[in-house]
Structure 1
Amino acid sequence: MFEGVKMFLDIKRTLGTPYYESDNCLIYNTDSLTLLSKIPQESINLTITSPPYNIGKSYESILPVDEYINWCTKWMHSLYHVTAKDGAFLLNLGYLEVPQKGRAVPISYLLWDKSPFFMQQEIVWHYEAGVASKKYLSPRNEKFIWYVKDKKHYTFNLDPIRDPNVKYPNQKKRGKLRCNPLGKNPGDVWCFPKVTSGENRSSKERAKHPAQFPIAVIEKFILGMSNENEIVLDPFLGSGSTCIAALKHNRKVIGFEISEEYCELAAQRIGDYLNEDQMSFTNWNTML
């Protein structure tokens, strides 16, 4: 615990004054490559992030595919050096078009081996809402690549992320339960609703960001791939969902975001969460 506190303070001293700060949370308004090179070596326990997909969203400029791959390779190499020996990296990716090669090519196919990390597994995030098409199948999933720094020594907490949806939870064999009472082992396809927008269908957590994570997805990674008081990083912070999920489960968290507009959005969402959390705590104490 104290080691995590010390490392968090060391990182803050190294990176300087953040755009936003609260207990256990730092946000910096900057390009991720600039600050990744300044973070002390082997100080980040878990990174969860979703970089621009190179498809022309409002916050990105489309690069030739080769340039995009080179850019991702640079920041992933920098990330490797700041990741703890038993640390992990979760990379969320969608699809892009490769000219003359393919329409909806999973970006993970282009990047999976472009860093020194060991690719542990691909995790598929399935959802129902999304873009519809009349000429090809409608995309209804995105990939998370689970990387570890050391393939033999890494954090994996099975119990907090077990699947409680067991068909026969009390089934026994020779008098012993066949299934763990906490739930079955989770698979590599996770079903979580997408953060949707639009009249009469907008998600409760929807913010003004075109590519927003559901907090529930990030929570599952944080519980499974990190421990309390460890340091979580999101170098492409966006609307701040990684910060909220990390704070919710007693982790320390650092985010980089190049857009000041999105830094402000993330700061507002985090502040709202902390205020709601404090109100819930106060109300609970009052009931007691």
Structure 2
Amino acid sequence: MHTIISVNMFDKIKSVLGTPYYENDKAIIYNTDCVEALNKLIASNIEINSTITSPPYNIGKEYEKILAIEEYVGWITGIINQIHQITTNNGSFIFNVGYLKVEGKGRAVPISYLLWDKIPFYLTQEIIWNYGAGVACRNYLSPRNEKVLWYIKNEKDYTFNLDQIRDPNVKYPNQKKNGKLRCNPLGKNPSDVWEIAKVTSGKNRSSVERMPHPAQFPEELIERAILGFTNEDELILDPFMGSGTTSRVAMLNNRYSIGFELNEEYCETIAKRLDNTVKEIKIKENTPSLF
């Protein structure tokens, strides 16, 4: 049985965290530090169903301050432990991480290696996010992947909606065995390697969904995670909201979301993006279908 978060939960969250920077019927965004906000949610026994997020990688992006490795790992694991406390028993934690340099150890060490024994969630699977665009290198292989770690709180009770994320690109869709189709008519299991384009920038190559943020989630990546690992009407958290992709995709797929973002300029970007999403949804609802 899966816990559904009532829309009234937004009222309870607002009574704890105060007036959000932005809100609509499906999303609330706070211009605040996630550590402080999560502590308040814990103290008030507020629960969320799932978290889908990507933290700063400690590599010097405009929105982060470089920390010593031990300090960075401690900061990230502290936040994850907070999230674990407010996650429903059948909830999930979807965590996208990249690589960083560790002096004396490696030039590109997967952040997941540094966190392996420090995360309280149960690791169901490591998903490889493979993409085409990226930095071209001369002295080592050009990096073309990041990790998406699928964690759950209860290994015996969790959401996996395979039919919602099946890949229709089947080589022999009509092949039969003993008169029956060998492949599910909805498509094949997408496996643990997801080939999804990055959100690119630059003249003549910028992605349609590009927002003014240097490290933006592709909507396709988040949609697959949301459809596969959460259910409609559940509440999804993103403590590092960035450009607002998690909330946008949650809205488009009938989920609720709460996000935290320290940078006020990014919050303004999120607000405009989600307002446009509200308009998209209303247009879709009011457009007659031919089928």
Question: TM-score, normalization: structure 1?
Answer: 0.96
Contact 1:239 1:265 in 2 (8 A): yes
- Is 1:54 matched up with 2:96? no
Output the CA distance in 2 between the equivalents of 1:265 and 1:3. 27
Match of residue 35 from structure 1: 37
Contact 1:246 1:253 in 2 (8 A): yes
Match of residue 158 from structure 2: 154
Residue 12 of structure 1 deviates from its aligned partner by 2.6
Match of residue 241 from structure 1: 245
Residue 14 of structure 1 deviates from its aligned partner by 2.0
Q: Which runs of 5+ in 1 are unaligned?
A: none
Q: Percent identity?
A: 59
- Is 1:135 matched up with 2:146? no
Residue 147 of structure 1 deviates from its aligned partner by 0.6
**Deviation per CA, 1:8-66, whole angstroms, max 9, x where unpaired?**
33223222210001111100000100011122446111100011000000010100101
- Is 1:170 matched up with 2:174? yes
**1:88 match: secondary structure:** strand
**Deviation per CA, 1:124-161, whole angstroms, max 9, x where unpaired?**
11100011111111110110111100111111111000
- Is 1:14 matched up with 2:12? no
Match of residue 111 from structure 1: 115
Output aligned runs, 1:268-279, within 5 Å: 268-279=272-283
Q: Which runs of 5+ in 2 are unaligned?
A: none
Contact 2:100 2:107 in 1 (8 A): yes
- Supply the AA of the counterpart residue of 2:110: P
- Is 1:188 matched up with 2:192? yes
Output the CA distance in 1 between the equivalents of 2:214 and 2:45. 33
Contact 1:42 1:85 in 2 (8 A): no
- Supply the AA of the counterpart residue of 1:20: Y
Residue 231 of structure 1 deviates from its aligned partner by 0.2
Contact 2:5 2:49 in 1 (8 A): no
Output the CA distance in 1 between the equivalents of 2:51 and 2:36. 17
Output the CA distance in 1 between the equivalents of 2:245 and 2:80. 21
Output the CA distance in 2 between the equivalents of 1:286 and 1:92. 36
- Supply the AA of the counterpart residue of 1:17: T
Alignment length, in residue pairs? 287
**1:112 match: secondary structure:** helix
Output the CA distance in 1 between the equivalents of 2:98 and 2:258. 23
Contact 1:8 1:252 in 2 (8 A): no
Output the CA distance in 2 between the equivalents of 1:112 and 1:20. 35
- Is 1:213 matched up with 2:209? no
Match of residue 72 from structure 1: 76
